[in-house]
């Protein structure tokens, strides 16, 4: 079974700072790694999907990388804004099952 871990569980940064969120997984035979954002009381919004053959994906101020050999993915957020405050979740799939980390709660302080 794939185990997905996200550290730290919570992170607080001042506005404008660049930051990195970490995601680690135990099974390197991962097909895809997907990053989500979840606002309080809301559903999950897809941010980036990295396929197993890719090493990174970029969308605006977000950049996600995938290193299958080390079992790690990172989500880089540039020039953080208060609107980035949310919980960030990563999920990997092997076969037909997706496994989620417990998330990192990010607070960006104005």
Torsion of CA 5, 51, 86, 43, to 10 degrees: -100
| Nearer of residues 18 and 51 to other proteins, judged by Cβ | 51
Contact stretch for other proteins (CB under 8 A) within 17-25, 44-52, 58-66, 69-77: 44-52
71 three-class SS: coil
What's the min distance (Å) between Cβ of 15 and other proteins? 28
70 binds other proteins (CB under 8 A): no
Name the segment binding other proteins (CB under 8 A); options: 15-23, 62-70, 75-83, 90-98. Answer: 90-98
Give the tokens for residue 90: 């990563």
What Å distances lie between residue 29 and 21, 41, 48, 100, CA to CA?
22, 33, 19, 16
Binder among 28, 45, 59, 70 for other proteins (CB under 8 A): 45
């Amino acid at each position: 079974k794939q185990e997905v871990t996200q550290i730290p569980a919570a992170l607080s940064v001042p506005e404008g700072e660049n930051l990195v969120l970490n995601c680690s997984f135990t099974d390197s035979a991962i097909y895809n790694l997907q990053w989500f954002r979840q606002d309080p009381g809301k559903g999950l919004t897809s941010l980036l999907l990295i396929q197993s053959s890719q090493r990174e994906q970029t969308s605006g101020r977000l950049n996600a990388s995938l290193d299958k050999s080390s079992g790690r993915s990172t989500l880089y957020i540039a020039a953080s804004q208060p609107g980035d405050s949310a919980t960030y979740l990563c999920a990997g799939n092997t076969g037909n099952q997706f496994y989620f980390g417990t998330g990192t709660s990010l607070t960006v302080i104005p």
